Structure 1
Amino acid sequence: MLNRRDAMRGLALAVGVASTGWAERALAAAAPTPALSWTPKALTLDQARLLDVVAELIIPATDTPGARAAGVPQFIDRAVGDYYTKDQVAQLTGGLARMDADARTAHGDVFIALTPEQQVTLLTAYDQESGVARGQGQSHFFPALEDMVTVGYFTSEAGATEALKYDPVPGDYHGCVPLADIGKAWATR
């Protein structure tokens, strides 16, 4: 049975933002980190800055807006404050803390101060670790973070209307059509 996480992962693969190829797009679109234009409600300022950078690396601005322009960090901040369970908050904030700790260990500075190449190298390592962890039945923070970035992006106005094909009324409306003309009734799930 397909669950929401598998469906979103399939969507991510379909539009090319999952692990295959995102690193190259992120490096190509890397730009200096701007100051936050919003005030975090659930995350600390440092966590929000880190989330902003990571989200933009996962879905960078190209010919469509990136995660930052789509408001993905704010979306995740609201989810953390309003909807996440304590375990989900701990997983996300623990993952963000790990990113900074790993960046300090490997390069002597916090994640957002690293070069885009160094940032992408760390994210790629997390992506690979998460595949190994999943194969061993273990949890890893990175897939959950990728899922939230993907959900936040594709449910935003920019993601839904510019990155995806948007058709507010998909097809002509023909009311009261005899079933014989259609063939079968249909349903969605």
Structure 2
Amino acid sequence: MATCAKLSRREAFAGVAFAGLAFTVGALSFGLAQPAAAQGLTWAPVALTPAQARALDAAAEQIMPATETPGARAAGVPQFVDRAIAGWCDKGQAALLRAGLDGLDADARAAHAAAFADLTAAEQTAILAGYDSSGARQRPFFLTLRELVTIGYFTSRPGATVALRYDPIPGPYRGCVPLKEIGRGWAI
């Protein structure tokens, strides 16, 4: 009967770390994965291509820019939208968003010979303003994107605690109030 040698926790973690490193190096050398830094992102997209993720990252930052409060990028909104496309949006919405992000890049290349994420802020704003006009064919995409960016921003920690005022219990708590101050009792 064979016996297994007991591993210490340190040896087990070293083995797991080595296996992960070996897989990553192998995947990179065979072109199976690209590091997010090489794509210009600080996060790895789940439902989008790297080009779509870069366009989303730039568009979200234009919709909710950093001012005295953090912007969409700092609040993690592009990752939120990517996860929403992967797991929450129906197939039609997901296809609309993917096609719209591809369209952003195509329109940017047609107008400025560069990807949307590589344009200046003024050029990006001009393209998005064109998408927001009432007669634009891209309007449904832009409205959906703007809605997801807004939801993602104001449900993030920076959006809920820095951009908005946060008061978990509005008003002061006064536990024992004389009935004279209140008047009659309340019926439920």
**1:38: Cα distance to partner?**
1.1
Alignment of 1:48 onto 2:49: no
CA gap of 1:108–1:161, structure 2 versus 1, over 3 A, is same
Could you say which residue in structure 2 is the equivalent of 1:78? Answer: 83
Could you say which residue in structure 1 is the equivalent of 2:157? Answer: 157
Alpha-carbon displacement from aligned partner over 1:1-46 (angstroms, at most 9, x marks no partner)? xxxxxxxxxxxxxxxxxxxxxxxxxxxxxxxxx9311111111111
Please identify, of 114-123 and 89-98, the stretch whose mean Cα deviation from structure 2 is larger: 114-123
Amino acid in structure 2 at the alignment position of 1:165: R
Could you say which residue in structure 2 is the equivalent of 1:92? Answer: 97
Could you say which residue in structure 1 is the equivalent of 2:140? Answer: 140
CA–CA separation in structure 1 for the residues paired with 2:176 and 2:143: 45
CA–CA separation in structure 2 for the residues paired with 1:132 and 1:176: 60
Could you say which residue in structure 1 is the equivalent of 2:12? Answer: none
CA–CA separation in structure 2 for the residues paired with 1:79 and 1:43: 11
CA gap of 1:126–1:100, structure 2 versus 1, over 3 A, is same
Alignment of 1:120 onto 2:116: no
Kept after mapping to 1: 8 A contact 2:132/2:139: no
Quick check: which has more Rg, 1 or 2?
Answer: 2
CA–CA separation in structure 1 for the residues paired with 2:51 and 2:126: 21
Amino acid in structure 2 at the alignment position of 1:51: L
Unpaired stretches in structure 2, ≥5 consecutive residues? 1-38
Alignment of 1:63 onto 2:84: no
Amino acid in structure 1 at the alignment position of 2:152: G
Please identify, of 173-182 and 72-81, the stretch whose mean Cα deviation from structure 2 is larger: 173-182
Q: TM-score, normalised by structure 1?
A: 0.69
Amino acid in structure 2 at the alignment position of 1:132: G
Quick one: higher RCO (CA 8 Å, sep 6+), 1 or 2? 1
**1:171: Cα distance to partner?**
1.7
CA–CA separation in structure 2 for the residues paired with 1:176 and 1:96: 57
CA–CA separation in structure 1 for the residues paired with 2:185 and 2:159: 33
Alignment of 1:106 onto 2:111: yes
Q: How many residues align?
A: 147
CA gap of 1:173–1:40, structure 2 versus 1, over 3 A, is same
Alpha-carbon displacement from aligned partner over 1:58-83 (angstroms, at most 9, x marks no partner)? 11111110000000001001111111
**1:175: Cα distance to partner?**
6.9
Please identify, of 61-70 and 165-174, the stretch whose mean Cα deviation from structure 2 is larger: 165-174
CA gap of 1:172–1:57, structure 2 versus 1, over 3 A, is same
